[in-house]
Structures are given as C-alpha cells and as structure tokens.
Amino acid sequence: MARIPEFYKLSVSQRVREVRKQGLLSNQDYQALASGNHTLSIQSADKMIENVIGVMGLPLALGLNFLINDKAYAIPLVVEEPSIVAALSSAAKIARAGGGFRVESSEPILIGQIQVVDVPHPQRAKAALLQRKSEILNLANSLHPNMVARGGGAKDLQVLIHPSSGQRGDMVVAHLLVDTCDAMGANLVNTMCEGVASLVENIAEGKVFLRILSNLTDRALVKARVSIPLDALAGRGFDGEQVRDGIILANEFASIDPYRAATHNKGIMNGIDAVALATGNDWRALETGAHAWAARGSHYTSLTQWTRGEDGSLEGELEIPIKVGIVGGALQSNPTAAMNLRLLGVSSARELAEVMGAVGLAQNFSAIRALATEGIQQGHMTLHARSVAAAAGATPKIFETVVDRLIESGEIKIWKARELIEQAVSPRVKAAKEKPQSETATEERNVSSGHGKIILLGEHAVVYGRHAIATPIPLAIQAHVQRGGDGVELIIPRWGVEQRLHRSAEKQHAYEKSLAIIFKTLGLERESMRLEIFPNVPRAMGLGGSAAIAVATIRALDRCFELGLDDERVNELAFECEKIAHGTPSGIDNTLSTYGQTMLFRSGESPLRKVIEIDQAVQLVVGISGVESLTAATVSRVRKAREAHPELYETIFNQIDSLVIEGVDALVGHKLETLGELMNICHGLLNAMQVSSWELEEMIQIARRHGALGAKLTGGGGGGSIIALCPPEPGAADRIESGIREAGYQTIQVTMGGKPKNR
C-alpha cells in the first residue's frame, strides 16, 4: 500500500482508479473524485466566510512511498509549487532504506492566555491563582463537558509574571492548558478563557484584558527521526559520504545563520502546509507556531538537525509544535478535506500531527540534498534570465528569443536584455525574421540546427513500410556545444532546464539515454562540455521535435569536436535516438530533420528517400493544439489494434499508401483541390484508427469552415497538431490562421516548395 510505481506517468483518471484499487478510497469518494464533485461548492463557501464571490482551486496530489512508524501512507497534499510532491515521494522512498520515519508526539495541548493588568501585588496574585487552580479548571471544564467525557478538557494552569515599563505595573498572565483531543480546538479554548476570566480577575485583584489562545503550541510537540544508509544517499554522480557531509554542512549553516534558517524552515513548512491544507487545518497557525519555536533561543535557527550516525549513516531529526484536528466544523463544511482524511487513514489528531512531522522532515531532506549536490545550480541561470527579460519589458512575442540570447551572451543583465529587445524590433532583425529560423540561426548565433517537420500524408502507415510525404517547417531546434567544465552541463532556456548530466546514472531520462548513445558512438564519453539547446519546435506536438533535438545536438558536437560527420552519418545516429524516444519509429522524422527537403519517404527493406520538386508554392497552416502527444503511445496503440485485427489494418494502411502516391502527382501538378480531398480522406482513416482528439477535430473543422481545401492531423496524433491546405488566393492563409487562433490555438504558416533549406 502507498507504493504505486510510476504513478506520475498515469493520467488523472488512471491515478484515481489506482488509488481506489489500493483500497484508499471508498466507492463514494472514488465517484466524487472521478466526477469532480468533491470540491467545495459556492453555497458551502458562502457559509464559511463573509463576502464570498467564488471558490479558488488548488492542485490535490498524493505523496507516496511513506513509511511512518511501520505504517504505509499515501498522503494528500494541496500545493501549487512544482516539484514538492515529487521531492516528498522521492525522499520517502529513500527513507524506506533505513526503515522509514520514526515519529513520536505529546498530548495535543492548546494554551489559552488570560492577561491581567493593574495588579497591585503580582506575586501574591500568582500564588492565589495557583492555590485555586482546581476551581479555575473545574469552571473551564464545566463549559465543555463533552470534551471532558472524551478524556480531554482543561488539564493544568500556569501563571507567568511579565515585567512592564508602563504605569500599570507588571502584568500577570494565566495559561490554561487544554487537551482538545481530536479537535483543532481554537474556539473551545477561547470559550474557556472567556468563561474563567471573571474568576481569574477576582482572584488576581486586577483587570482582565486579553483572553485568547496562543498559536505557540509548545505542549503539542512532534519529534520525527530518520536514518538513511550511505548506499541510499548515493546517486547523481555523488557517493553517499559526499551527500551526507553536504547535508550536514548545509544544516549547520541554517543552525547558525537566521537568514539561511528562514529559507531552510520554509522548505519544511512546504510539506507540512500542504498536508494542513489538504486536511482542512489552520496552516497559518502552524506556520507562526513553528517559526516562534525556531526563535525561542538566542536567535532564530533551524528546526532540523542532521548528523552522522555511529554506523556512518545520515541521521535527521525534526522537533516542531504541531496542533491539528480531524473533527470539527471546518472539516464538516469542506467535503474535500473530509475525503482526504479518510484517504489518509489516520485515527487521531496525534497521528495526523506525526504524519505532518514526517512530511516536514522528508521535505527538508529533499531540499537540502538538492542544495548540497547539483541542484543548487539547476534552473538558476534560466530562471534568472527569464526574470531579467521580464523586468526589461520583453513582450510575449519576443520573450523566449530574448531569454535564449541572454543566456547565449553570458551577460544576464537588464541593460543587455534591453539591447536585445531593441534588436528584436529593429528593421534589420525584422528582415531577418522573414527567413526561416534555421537560416538566420547559423548566420547570427553560430549554432547547429535540426529541422522540424510535418507529414502531409501517410502517418502511422509509414511505420509499416508504406509511403509518406513530409516537408520541413520554418521552425528549427538549434544547439551549441562549448568544451570545458565538469561533466556535461545541459541548458534548455525555454523549458527551464539547467542541469548537469551524469552519463553513468542508472536511471536516465530519454534525452540522457540518447546523449549516452551519441557520446559512445562518437567517442566523446570522457569529454566535458556545455550543451545549449534552443527549441523553436514545440515539444510533443507532432512536429518532429525529438528528432530535431538529436540532429541539432549531433551537428553541434560535430562542429565543436571537428568530427567530420556527413548528413548520412548524422541521420543514422539521430535514428538511433528516435528509437529511444518513440520505440519503433519509421525514420521519417530524423530524415526530414537532417535533410530539410520535401520528400517521398518509405522505410523497410526497400527504403526510399525521394526529393519532391514543387514548381509552384503550396501554402499550409499548422494548427498547434497545445496538448502534448507522445508518438510512442499512439504508435503502440495502433500496433495493438493491428495485432488484434491484422487484415483490417493492413487494408487501411494500403488505402493510406494509395492516397500518398496519388498525393505526389497532385502536389507536383499543383492540383490543390485533389490534394485537399486526399488529405480529408486520409484524416478520416486516421480518425478511424482512434489517433485523433477533440482539439484536433475542432481545429480541422475551423480550418475547413474558413476555406481550407483539406485538413488533417499531422504526426502521431492523440493531441499535437493539424495541417490545413490553403486555396491559392490572397489572404486565404491569414483567414484560416485567424480562425484557428481565435479558438485559442497557436498557428504557423508553412510554404512548401522545391527550394532546399540551408542548415
């Protein structure tokens, strides 16, 4: 339970079903989650606070892999900050190597404060209050007999004297210590303070002023511990001792420096607050109590301690006041909070507090582990460049270009960003932008390129040895390689990627695996370098982005290390990378990316790469859905269907193949109406194979309504992009493009012709 491998790869509906299978959801809660009916209604919200005008949503996720006091948990988290959920789940998985988290907690005591001023004899008042403690406690408990019956209620009374420089003398403060059991208890404690105020006032012979609870719940302490073996710490190119010592050093910094401690402790509360929000608890009270506890000594300090264990392991401890509840009005009025508590499966408020303590320690471990190793630099340059570009006033249209060129320049400064903005809108750059980006890139930026592509006719059938027509698009991916550094530093500004790649890592992403193949094949396994990728091709949009990255990277390595690779060698190596990205690719993407020419393509035993010469321009509009589509997934879906119905799918593939052959003649002969009809029929066959989506269908219908001669999906489908063939009349492409854009989609215009594209 609470161990669901590759949970993050599932769709939302699949995750909900998997959680139900694990027995963490009742049928009623499953239906509520699946239908979206679990959220707070506007009517309920209106009864909770004043002046309600709506309800704001936040992501609800699960932290997995947690083992706390030998019990497995799937922990609901409500948080909008990226990476917290993944970091927690990863930390919990690592902690299991040492037996998980051990957590203990004290009774759930809240403190109510009764302030007495104008006291003539403070010490006498203190003695009198303590002497009549039983009387005060009995009065307080009489106000909430049900709480007493459950084993809670007012348990003790403390009295403090605070010196005062004012004319009213020292103040006497009575602390009412209340066990609120499984309730949050704020209203209960406030009621008790109000109820005993007059009695306290009479006994102390002064005047009661404030009577209210304290959010410094230092009687409700949680202490979480974890021990992590060195083997579990190793990874990302670091051995266990390096990671352990780095974490200890980072924690030491937080323990002595309040500026560092503030951010250090904020990381702890990232996890605790997410659980508090999910379970309907007062995260603001938890925050202020935690930070007050961190400041109880001579200076504000770290809430955690990380040390070296006797066996060399990393040992962590978090001590923090946590007072929460699992019953009460707020939980009853918010159906999601109640559902999350059922999913979490805690039986008491103390157990919930212990879960929060483990989550806080896990989040702290994950954060400082990243800081202590490679993560301190990850994303720093790219995020800084984006901030600088925004501050300099870069408009959305040129924003990504400015970010790219800021990083390339190495001068991530406001003045440089303004200079780049001015260049981007100057007549010279405007004229340059009329060229395909693949051409201007090599002229201005000394980078290598790989083309994006669209398939005019033949997708999916081409995987099974049939023909396809494809053409490059005026978007390219550029790459630049610079020798030096330590290992391989990868920077992709537009995607916010900035990390050091470890080629020997056991678990690698697809791009890292592709790079490993490239390095091994080219004999660059021991070389250190900085690799920058500038992706103008949207990823996972059916436009050949993965192949373009591979081709651009190979060419950049060729240029930097002077390898002398020809196009055929680049194409072969890019195809090996495509196998990692897509499983069983046809090779059309890497071929178009490498050669950048419109061609008739066929893979298999009798491969064909024939350039199609087009005398008259053919105008297309590409509509981009924004819904990422993994070609490997749609190819796999078609393969399974073909295996189940081989004759049917072979017939479909043959029909598509005949459309492609006829399409070549229509394209060369500029028979656009015929070509458009072939595209429409081809899309119908692709739709029958269930590789379309409602976004693609909407764009196709819009394009046809606005005069497109033909429109179809392009690439793998399942999301991604469509292409629309424009009639040969002035303004037709603009009209179709505007229609698609007005529906909220992105577009680009593509002109097919016989002119070879430079690289």
Instruction: Tell me which residues are annotated as active site.
Output: 81, 266, 282, 380
- Alpha carbon 86 to its chain centroid, in Å, reads 8
How far apart are the C-alpha atoms of 470 and 594, rounded to whole Å? 13
Question: How many residues are listed for the chain in this entry?
Answer: 759
E-only strand ranges, 164-228: 171-179, 207-214, 221-228
How far apart are the C-alpha atoms of 646 and 639, rounded to whole Å? 9
Residue found under tokens 């009374």: 157
β-strand partners of 111:
177, 214
**Which 8-state DSSP code applies to residue 181?**
T
Angle between helices 349-372 and 84-95 (to 10 degrees): 100
The neighbour count for residue 390, using CB atoms within 10 Å, is 13
> Strand order of the sheet with strand 314-321?
71-78, 60-68, 101-105, 221-228, 314-321, 304-308
β-strand partners of 72:
67
How far apart are the C-alpha atoms of 503 and 98, rounded to whole Å? 28
Q: How far is CA 90 from CA 165, 242, 363, in A?
A: 53, 19, 10
Check if the beta carbon of residue 178 is closer than 8 Å to that of residue 152.
Answer: yes
Q: Name the token pair of 236.
A: 């990302």
SS3 560: helix
Q: To the nearest 10°, report the CA torsion of 376, 379, 382, 388.
A: -60
**Which 8-state DSSP code applies to residue 503?**
T
β-strand partners of 327:
183
Q: Which residues contact 527 (CB under 8 A, 6 or more apart)?
A: 483, 519, 561
Check if the beta carbon of residue 275 is closer than 8 Å to that of residue 337.
Answer: no
How far apart are the C-alpha atoms of 27 and 31, rounded to whole Å? 6
Q: Name the token pair of 480.
A: 């630049």
How far apart are the C-alpha atoms of 23 and 21, rounded to whole Å? 5
Helices (H), 373-413: 380-391, 396-409
| H or E segment and range at residue 111 | strand 109-117
Helices (H), 562-715: 567-582, 588-595, 631-644, 646-668, 672-688, 694-705
Biggest alpha carbon distance in the chain?
108
Q: Which residues contact 509 (CB under 8 A, 6 or more apart)?
A: none
